[in-house]
């Protein structure tokens, strides 16, 4: 900016002195000030014998500029002298200044601390997002492999070999089977979860997400238990192997959680919103009926498994009668309610389930 200002003054001076043939090349830009311009103009007027009026105006400009410089210098000197001769601060004023300085330092420290905490939170959130993105990507790969592995179950069973073959079909190296530490049970758990989600989606669509009232709850229960059982028919020959894997102690919690989630969803969308002891007995009864129907289906050779569906209907009728009889036993209802309540709360906490649907 200083160079542009100097250039501007040079141009103005060139225009002013052009008629007198003054060469600006002999004047340094950084030393070109208003006083030097006026001095040069005054000297030129003396040597070239300018008219008296113009000489007088030049002299007036020079005197005015010199007077301003003298006034500014005097003011600056007076201010400096006044500052040096100012009265020293009193003890109370010094204390106040000290406290103010400490307050500023405290404020600065708090702001720096808050800024550091904010940066840590941002870093933590960013790291969490990156972890979630990586986990989502890994889960997508995992699901793709397991989905491709299901078609090999009829020939290879619920085994790690089926997963390896599914990984190769999905375009991944066979070594990715290390993503499935539980081997064949990972495939069983994926299949159960997938089937449960399909049943849930169908119930939600049919009941308008639970808002539509079901006219015949018993028929609703039978129909969706049958739908879920029919999903295992393509793997009927290999299902005993899946049952054995689900019964292993290390796999039992996951298997039980999936079963309880299924029967709770079916009861809920059938219209069962009660909070009495019937809430527990209906879910326990439905879970037992589902597993019995599943086992009966494995040995049923009738056309379209008609005997299995008849067995299911009979068991549901028996459960309704048992439920009615059980609820009439008023003498033991209170104690049994406490027992069931304690058992289900413990199971829910251990399995991480949430039966409170909105």
DSSP labels, 75-93 = HHHHHHHHHHTPPPPPHHH
pLDDT 10s digits, 27-67: 444 444 444 544 555 455 555 444 545 545 555 554 555 55
Q: Which residues contact 265 (CB under 8 A, 6 or more apart)?
A: 196, 199, 200, 203
Look at residue 186 and tell me whether its pLDDT is greater than 80. Answer: yes
Report the mean per-residue pLDDT for the chain. 75
Q: Which of 81-95, 116-130, 173-187, 229-243 has the highest mean pLDDT?
A: 229-243
The band of 297, judged by pLDDT with boundaries at 50, 70 and 90, is very high
Query: Which pLDDT value is given to residue 281?
Result: 76
Over range 102-124, report the average pLDDT: 81
Q: Residues of the chain with pLDDT > 70: what percent?
A: 60
Which of 102-116, 185-199, 252-266 is the least confident region? 102-116
Q: CA–CA distance from 329 to each of 266, 273, 322 (Å)?
A: 26, 22, 11
Q: What does the alpha-carbon distance between residue 142 and residue 148 come to, in Å, rounded to a whole number?
A: 10
Evaluate whether 184 touches 159 at the Cβ level (below 8 Å): yes
CA angle 251/293/222 to nearest 5° reads 115
Three-state SS for 36?
helix
Q: Got the DSSP string for 309-333?
A: HHHHHHHHHHHHHHHHHHHT-HHHH
Which of 203-207, 274-278, 289-293, 303-307 is the least confident region? 274-278
User: Would the pTM count as exceeding 0.75?
Assistant: no
- CA 77 to chain CA centroid, Å, is 65
Which residue, 161, 160, 305, is CA-closest to 231? 305
234 or 38, greater pLDDT: 234
Q: What does the alpha-carbon distance between residue 13 and residue 66 come to, in Å, rounded to a whole number?
A: 19
Q: What does the alpha-carbon distance between residue 97 and residue 163 come to, in Å, rounded to a whole number?
A: 76
Which residue, 116, 172, 110, is CA-closest to 147? 172
Which residue, 177, 184, 191, 179, is CA-closest to 147? 191
350 or 92, greater pLDDT: 92
Query: Which pLDDT value is given to residue 56?
Result: 57
- Number of neighbouring beta carbons within 10 Å of residue 251: 18
The band of 275, judged by pLDDT with boundaries at 50, 70 and 90, is low
Which of 33-47, 148-162, 163-177, 246-260 is the least confident region? 33-47
- DSSP alpha helix (H) spans, 52-175: 52-84, 91-149, 153-156, 160-169
Evaluate whether 302 touches 236 at the Cβ level (below 8 Å): no
The band of 329, judged by pLDDT with boundaries at 50, 70 and 90, is low
Over range 127-147, report the average pLDDT: 89
Q: What does the alpha-carbon distance between residue 236 and residue 299 come to, in Å, rounded to a whole number?
A: 9
Domain boundaries defined on the chain: 136-180, 184-331
CA angle 146/133/351 to nearest 5° reads 60
Q: Which token pair is 100?
A: 């103010």
Over range 226-236, report the average pLDDT: 96
Three-state SS for 221?
helix
Evaluate whether 138 touches 146 at the Cβ level (below 8 Å): no
pLDDT 10s digits, 73-112: 455 445 445 544 555 656 666 666 666 666 777 777 788 8
């Amino acid at each position: 900016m200083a160079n542009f200002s100097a250039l501007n003054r040079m141009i103005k001076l060139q225009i002013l002195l052009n008629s007198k043939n003054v060469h600006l090349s002999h004047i340094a830009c950084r030393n070109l000030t208003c006083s030097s311009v006026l001095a040069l103009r005054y000297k030129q007027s003396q040597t070239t014998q300018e008219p008296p009026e113009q000489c007088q105006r030049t002299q007036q400009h020079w005197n005015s500029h010199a007077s301003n410089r003298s006034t500014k210098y005097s003011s600056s000197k007076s201010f400096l002298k006044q500052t040096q001769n100012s009265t020293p601060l009193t003890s109370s004023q010094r204390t106040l200044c000290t406290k103010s300085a400490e307050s500023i330092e405290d404020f600065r420290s708090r702001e720096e601390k808050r800024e550091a905490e904010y940066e840590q939170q941002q870093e933590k959130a960013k790291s969490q997002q990156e972890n979630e993105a990586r986990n989502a990507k890994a889960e997508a790969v995992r699901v793709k492999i397991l989905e491709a592995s299901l078609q090999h179950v009829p020939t290879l069973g619920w085994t790690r070999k089926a997963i390896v073959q599914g990984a190769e079909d999905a375009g991944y190296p066979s070594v990715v089977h290390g993503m499935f530490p539980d081997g064949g049970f990972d495939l069983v758990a994926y299949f159960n979860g997938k089937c449960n989600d399909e049943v849930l989606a169908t119930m939600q669509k049919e009941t308008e997400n639970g808002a539509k009232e079901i006219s015949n709850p018993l028929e609703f229960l039978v129909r969706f238990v049958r739908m879920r059982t029919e999903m295992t028919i393509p793997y009927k020959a290999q299902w005993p192997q899946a049952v054995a894997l689900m019964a292993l102690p290390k796999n039992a919690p996951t298997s039980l959680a999936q079963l309880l989630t299924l029967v709770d969803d079916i009861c809920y969308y059938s219209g069962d919103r009660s909070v009495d002891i019937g809430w527990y007995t209906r879910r326990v009864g439905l879970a037992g009926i589902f597993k019995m129907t599943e086992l009966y289906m494995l040995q049923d050779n009738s056309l379209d498994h008609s005997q299995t569906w008849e067995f299911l209907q009979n068991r549901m009728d028996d459960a309704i009668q048992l439920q009615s009889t059980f609820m009439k036993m008023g003498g033991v209802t209170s104690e049994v309610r406490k027992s069931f309540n304690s058992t289900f709360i413990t199971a829910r906490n251990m399995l991480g389930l949430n039966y409170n649907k909105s």
